[in-house]
């Protein structure tokens, strides 16, 4: 799942934005975290992590699950006998799946999720899912993907999950359709659906769907519009199925959402006046709501550590719509296919880095003294202790931040730490 890093700046990307390649110690969060938002999105899916007790504690802590809750994820614990090869892990897995499906007859799709421990003992979950599918399909479809945190950043868990679904998507037989790729909160999905209907664009499918059993079709008539920027493998798999990618900025903020919708409107040959009329009420509401936070953020300095892969679109939003100064924009890797439109919107002279050497980046951050630092959980508390205002990057993935009606909410997520720091230092 590792993506080959870019080795040069292509002609289509601004040549006045050099990219600093960082290759050193990294601060990464486990890809199992993606289960937290995916299990909420696909309401008939269950995620069975094949891992250790540490894996179970991680997912449970990230999801904030109460002891009396019965979520749609769990962990098949690999014990000492499994890790030592004294027990047949496949037999144990089959037994646990039998128990799970007997207890939860509402499950329509079961994901077997690999972890660092399962990969260490070389447990072949692809063969396991194939074997179990022969027993339970079509009542239950069983898929597998890796959520291991050894090589990936945490948002790639969603990429791996959606990628595992692409081979089983039905064929569309060249009928024109729009597929929105990337998980969205239901409220945001509904907002976008209403806008597409006003524009006369359709049929529109969302991937992942709310029910994993209702998979969207894909084929030569499918046009892809990405809602999330961390789906490199999924996008390439969909293109291999015949779909066409519509390159666009991402729908963060007013500008990003307008450009995103305009990309789809142009593909459907929607008249400009019809487009402006359809989006005008939403744009006007968003401008009024955003102005309050723009006054707080304008002129402030932001430093973004590489973590979620949302960094470049967020930096564009903070700079162009909130008036912030970008000290440095770090991202785990740059996929030219998915990021070109966003990089072209960054201000001239932006310090853009790919990869991580955490000690060097910390030194640059401390020297720059930014007003707010966007980073992972592992860095946030130490930097707060040094008197710096921080924003957890993982919170930006968990929160509904796409679209017009969420533009002010997105800005507030950055304004809130500044206000907290102000109160603490008064």
Averaged over successive runs of 10 residues, the pLDDT of the chain (426 residues) comes to 31 60 75 89 94 82 65 78 62 91 94 86 90 94 87 85 97 92 96 97 96 93 97 97 97 98 97 96 97 95 95 98 96 93 93 91 95 92 92 91 97 93 76
pLDDT of residue 423: 80
CB 144 within 8 A of CB 130: no
Alpha-carbon distance of 395 to 401, in angstroms, equals: 10
Three-class DSSP category at 393: helix
> 389 with 264, same domain?
no
Angle, alpha carbons 13-19-365 (nearest 5°): 135
> 298 with 411, same domain?
yes
Contacts of 276 (CB under 8 A, 6+ apart): none
Tell whether the torsion through CA atoms of 356, 360, 363 and 369 is positive or negative.
Answer: negative
pLDDT of residue 2: 30
CB 25 within 8 A of CB 357: yes
Containing 197, the helix (H) or strand (E) segment is: helix 186-199
Domain membership of residue 280 (yes or no) is no
Alpha-carbon distance of 33 to 168, in angstroms, equals: 24
Alpha-carbon distance of 51 to 139, in angstroms, equals: 26
Report whether 30 belongs to an annotated binding site: yes
> 140 with 194, same domain?
no
Segments forming the whole domain that contains residue 249: 177-273
Report whether 55 belongs to an annotated binding site: yes
Domain boundary among 152, 187, 213: 152
In 3D space, the residue among 18, 22, 128, 39 whose CA is nearest the CA of residue 356 turns out to be 22
Number of domains in the chain: 3
pLDDT of residue 136: 95
Domain boundary among 273, 305, 333: 273
Domain membership of residue 170 (yes or no) is no
CB 30 within 8 A of CB 154: yes
Identify the DSSP state of 229: S
In Å, how far from its chain's centre is CA 240? Answer: 21
pLDDT of residue 152: 61
Residue 152 phi, psi dihedral angles, 5° rounding:
-115, 165
pLDDT of residue 11: 35
Alpha-carbon distance of 167 to 204, in angstroms, equals: 20
> 247 with 315, same domain?
no
> 23 with 43, same domain?
no
Report whether 116 belongs to an annotated binding site: yes
């Amino acid at each position: 799942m590792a993506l080959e890093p870019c080795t040069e700046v292509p002609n289509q990307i601004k040549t006045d934005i050099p990219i600093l390649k960082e290759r050193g110690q990294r601060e990464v969060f486990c890809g199992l975290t993606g289960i937290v938002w995916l299990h909420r999105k696909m309401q008939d899916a269950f995620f069975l992590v094949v891992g250790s007790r540490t894996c179970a504690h991680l997912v449970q802590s990230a999801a904030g699950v109460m002891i009396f809750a019965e979520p749609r994820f769990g962990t098949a614990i690999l014990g000492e006998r499994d890790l030592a090869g004294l027990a047949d892990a496949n037999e144990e897995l089959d037994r646990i799946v039998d128990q799970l499906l007997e207890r939860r007859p509402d499950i329509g799709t079961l994901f077997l999720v690999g972890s660092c421990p399962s990969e260490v003992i070389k447990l072949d979950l692809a063969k396991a899912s194939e074997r179990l599918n022969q027993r339970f399909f079509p009542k239950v479809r069983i898929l597998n993907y890796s959520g291991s945190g050894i090589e990936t950043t945490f948002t790639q868990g969603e990429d791996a999950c959606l990628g595992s679904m692409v081979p089983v998507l039905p064929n569309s037989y060249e009928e024109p359709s729009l597929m929105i790729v990337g998980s969205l909160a239901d409220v945001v999905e509904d907002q976008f659906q209403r806008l597409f209907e006003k524009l006369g664009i359709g049929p529109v499918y969302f991937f992942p769907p709310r029910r994993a059993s209702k998979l969207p079709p894909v084929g030569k008539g499918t046009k892809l519009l990405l809602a999330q920027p961390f789906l490199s493998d999924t996008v390439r798999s969909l293109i291999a199925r015949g779909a066409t990618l519509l390159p666009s900025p991402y729908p963060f903020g007013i500008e990003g959402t307008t450009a995103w919708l305009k990309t789809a409107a142009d593909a459907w040959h929607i008249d400009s006046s019809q487009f402006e009329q359809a989006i005008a009420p939403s744009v006007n509401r968003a401008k009024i709501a955003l102005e309050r936070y723009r006054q707080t953020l304008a002129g402030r300095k932001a430093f973004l550590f590489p973590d979620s892969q949302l960094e470049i679109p967020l930096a564009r939003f903070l700079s162009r719509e909130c008036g912030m100064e970008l000290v440095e924009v770090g991202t785990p890797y740059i996929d030219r296919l998915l990021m070109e439109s966003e990089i072209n919107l960054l201000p001239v002279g932006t310090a853009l880095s790919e990869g991580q050497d955490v000690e060097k980046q910390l030194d640059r951050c401390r020297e720059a003294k930014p007003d707010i630092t966007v980073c992972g959980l592992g860095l946030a508390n130490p930097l707060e202790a040094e008197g710096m205002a921080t924003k957890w990057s993982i919170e930006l993935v968990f929160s509904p931040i796409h679209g017009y009606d969420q533009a002010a909410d997105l800005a507030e997520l950055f304004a809130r730490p500044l206000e907290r720091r102000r109160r603490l230092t008064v």
